[in-house]
Structure 1
Amino acid sequence: MEQQQLLRVLDTVLLSPPVPAQHAIAPLPLSGLDADRNVLDVAFRTLRFFPPPDPSSSLDPFAVLPRAFEAALGLFPALAGRIRDGHVVVSDADTVPLVLLVASELSVADVDTDAPGSALLDSLAPKDGDGAGPALALQATRFACGGVALGMRVAHALCDGAGGTKFLASAARFARGQGPAAVAPVWERRDRLGPRRPPRVVTPLFDRVLALDDHVARCGPYGAAWDGHERRQQLTRECFHVSDARVEALRARLADEAGLKLTTFEVIAAFIWRARVKANGTSSGEVVKMVYSMNINKLVDLPLPDGYWGNVCVPVYVALTAGDLVSRPLAATAAMIKKSKQEVGDEYVRSYIDFQELHRGEGVTAGPRGAVSAFTDWRRLGHGEVDFGWGGPDAVLPLSWRILGSTEPCFLLPYGAADERRRQGFKVFVAVQRKALPGFRDEMEELLLQQQQSSVGKL
């Protein structure tokens, strides 16, 4: 019997935000970043594994979690709403489903959290919705060992990884009996990050990296066929265990060659982008792009309040021909990524929002999905704050692979607090063209933890 078939539904709890009927919320406008089509129609799915509660305690996660999430929804009621025409509509009748399951024949140790293509992992979180349901859905699974998997599906238009973590951390505080945080959640989305009147694009960068496409206008940035069998067969999802020591040695060498201080992200993004393009055998004259999310909290002229929990990242692009990317020194590519970060300021953010507003119905795209490599770093999203009373998560995993207009993303992920590998490195989840996987593995050898060099091909 397949492992995912060993899951049994105990109950579906409908969580109601404690908002009296007479105080039903008026439509809440989304920000320009929330309404970016790369996130507007995307439901982002995540999965967290928590250790078992102390056997000496009487703590029952299935009694704690519904109360904690319902209390947190009182602070984040928009998560129970529906997205309509650039707004979130919340009524007093809206609920968020929390499905409770048991896996009585499985231990957490039986779950391979290093297998991003696993059907079992996929079954531990709410499925993708059709856009008609609530912005949030939750699923908790208790294993035979007492460990708990918490799956979440949330409309990306309402929050990014940091915003989603704020909601979970709030629920965790209620679970621990600590009450709400000192800083209350803040909406203020259209006021803070709405388009200007009239919209105007001052930054010329977008004309070089973005285009308009009728197909994207009709089918969205990810294409109507993404969930089709043929598209799935073209890609594989792999996990690589990356060594801090090896990355640091590479970073020091490239920084010396470039004469610049380089971050780990700049170095590893340059390395993996080049590795992917080399393994794909992309024609030398074809333009390839990498895109990553950059937090704007400290970049905009009017700083966002601490309680702001909407999308706070803007996409940043770097473009080269495949031949140039492969042949140029890696230090030069890392330096280009650093330079692209330096070009992002308040005007970049405002111009990006205005560009989206001006061309919303025309299909804004950075190019074919296979030509765009997306990168996102989850290593410092405050995962440890999500502690419901029996320990922080042992693993935090993405289950969605549509980000920043690409279906071939790369996630940098931390190990859990109890994982000994945490002291040695971090994980990379990456989507790769299936035909390119052997070559990509060969390229990645330079960065891998020693013990994984012979086993990574088995993942």
Structure 2
Amino acid sequence: MGCEVMVKNTMELQLQVKCGEVVMVRPCLPSPKTTLYLSNLDDQSMLRFMVRQILLYKVYNNSNSNSLGNPAKVIREALSKVLVYYYPMAGRLRSSHNGKLQVEYNAEGVPFMAATSDNNLSVLGDCDDLKQSFHQLISTIPFGAETESIYPLVLQVTQFSCGGFVLGYGSNHSICDGLGMAQFLNGLGEMARGVGKLSVQPIWDRELLKPRNPPQVMFHHSELVTDSFISSFQEHEECVHYFHYLDSKTIKQIKQRLMGECKESFSSFDIGAALFWRAMTKAHKIPHSHSVKLVFAMNSRKLFKPPLHNGYYGNCFYPVCATARAEELYSTSILQVIMIIKRSRLLLSNEYLRSSIDFVEINRKVMNQHVHVPMKNVVFMSDWRFLGLNSVDFGWGETSILSPIEWSGFFHANFIVFIQPPKGKDGIKVLLCMPQTTLKLFEIEMEVGILSNSMEKDMQRSSL
């Protein structure tokens, strides 16, 4: 089968974590006390939340790598070193008079906690069943806190009885995007391994993305028009998180068949996005005449003129919006759905991005007052496979498993994340969030979509 569904286990994992005291880690060298500008791509209301994830490292007692020392101590010392380069991470978010966020740096430091567990790391499995108990692995932040009452970054290292450990981190999305956070964590890993100089020098330079004076909005930014994001879910609908594994063999078969039709290459993301978008639309039974959207993040660093420097770690993944009528997703081939997605990327350019920055500048007050809510006709998708989070190495090898553990931000329902599968598994690990009432029909539609596009018979040819 092309799609392996991870069935949720109803028994709570007996994970027990003993937390130590929170220590404020500061840069080991003096850093300037200053107020730092955040770009309008950083300062969007939809990004004012904490991203909480865990990185698992399967280290066992018979491993000679234990000579490296205690992971919590090693990482804490490395944090003090890397903050010399990334000192804004030890600052505090503040709001200026017009509601715009900025970073005040006064060397208060990053909250760090060392914790232990008598459990074996295997109690977490492959993190295919997100449990409330996982929150113990990043318990230094108050859940549900307002943006300005929490820190830009918090870290926790939990040592397990088997010798393995987990790094749990919370980062405020207004400070950096996923690529920027991966850059920071890989730098932290280099310091932990005793590397004398960071391989990528961090660059703040958020002023490069300042709005024009006067602002010039040249495009209709439907992806930022919050008034169109109206809830269509019932308040009592419970959302569930669960995983699919989309295997490499299935993806390869679909790629080959599509190339046979149009002689064009397609990425795994293109194929996965089309399959999930169409299945989600069908599962929600969106009326044929209604508009449906797929909103996904695209790295725009090289689209600016001039391109942003290597090492820029601010928010630069822009929400691309693919739009179609539900009828198109119901009746057309998967190839045509993919082409809708591919064409949506072509809109992004330096001019479009500059226009969006100006749009946020003009509409900041209204956008900051709006509360984002999920809707059935919009699917949000993010691809974390190539950010670099899986390569973070503190001296005990690269990440074995990466997993988000909490969803308190903008995305609640109809949110899909592509994740690198655990070592030893191929394909794409896909985390989904949707109402419980939609789950069964969605899984049926996904299986039908996969089977109809990977079978040996000829696919129906579609005009592009």
What displacement does 1:203 show? 2.6
Match of 1:263 among 258, 264, 267: 267
**1:211 match:** 225
Cα deviation 1:205-250 (Å, max 9, x = unaligned) = x25x55353xx9xxxx899xx9xxx958521111111111101212
**Code of the aligned partner of 1:73:** L
| Mapping for residues 36-55 of structure 1, pairs under 5 Å | 36-39=44-47, 41-52=48-59, 55=63
Q: 1:139·1:152 contact (CA, 8 Å) conserved in 2?
A: yes
**1:456 match:** none
Cα deviation 1:83-125 (Å, max 9, x = unaligned) = 1122100103x12111111111x11111133435322333312
Cα deviation 1:155-214 (Å, max 9, x = unaligned) = 101111111111111111111111231442111102x1121111112134x25x55353x
**1:401 match:** 407
- Aligned with 2:428: secondary structure? strand
- Aligned with 1:270: secondary structure? helix
Query: Number of aligned pairs?
Result: 426
Match of 1:173 among 185, 190, 200: 190
For residues 33 and 138 of structure 1, what CA distance do their matches in structure 2 show? 25
Alignment of 1:197 with 2:213, yes or no, is yes
For residues 129 and 44 of structure 2, what CA distance do their matches in structure 1 show? 26
**Code of the aligned partner of 1:111:** L
- Aligned with 1:201: secondary structure? coil
Structure 2: where are the runs of 5+ without partners?
1-10, 96-100, 452-464
**2:356 match:** 352
For residues 406 and 252 of structure 1, what CA distance do their matches in structure 2 show? 34
For residues 383 and 357 of structure 2, what CA distance do their matches in structure 1 show? 22
**2:116 match:** 102
Identity %: 29
RMSD, aligned CA: 2.7
For residues 144 and 259 of structure 1, what CA distance do their matches in structure 2 show? 53
Q: 1:292·1:404 contact (CA, 8 Å) conserved in 2?
A: no
Judged with a 3 Å threshold, the aligned counterparts in structure 2 of structure 1 residues 231 and 399 are, in CA distance, closer, same or farther, namely farther
**2:316 match:** 312
**Code of the aligned partner of 1:89:** E
**2:39 match:** 31
For residues 310 and 202 of structure 2, what CA distance do their matches in structure 1 show? 8
For residues 249 and 92 of structure 2, what CA distance do their matches in structure 1 show? 46
**1:69 match:** 79
**2:443 match:** 441
- Aligned with 2:376: secondary structure? helix
Tell me the TM-score normalized by structure 1.
0.85
**1:113 match:** 126
Judged with a 3 Å threshold, the aligned counterparts in structure 2 of structure 1 residues 406 and 151 are, in CA distance, closer, same or farther, namely same
Tell me the TM-score normalized by structure 2.
0.85
For residues 293 and 154 of structure 2, what CA distance do their matches in structure 1 show? 33
| Mapping for residues 361-380 of structure 1, pairs under 5 Å | 361-363=365-367, 368-380=374-386
**1:420 match:** 424
- Aligned with 1:89: secondary structure? strand
Alignment of 1:383 with 2:397, yes or no, is no
Judged with a 3 Å threshold, the aligned counterparts in structure 2 of structure 1 residues 232 and 374 are, in CA distance, closer, same or farther, namely farther
- Aligned with 2:254: secondary structure? helix
What displacement does 1:404 show? 6.9
What displacement does 1:395 show? 0.7
Cα deviation 1:310-368 (Å, max 9, x = unaligned) = 11211100122223322222211100111111221111211111112111122379985
**1:84 match:** 94
What displacement does 1:428 show? 0.4
- Aligned with 2:366: secondary structure? coil
Q: 2:247·2:427 contact (CA, 8 Å) conserved in 1?
A: yes
**Code of the aligned partner of 1:134:** Y
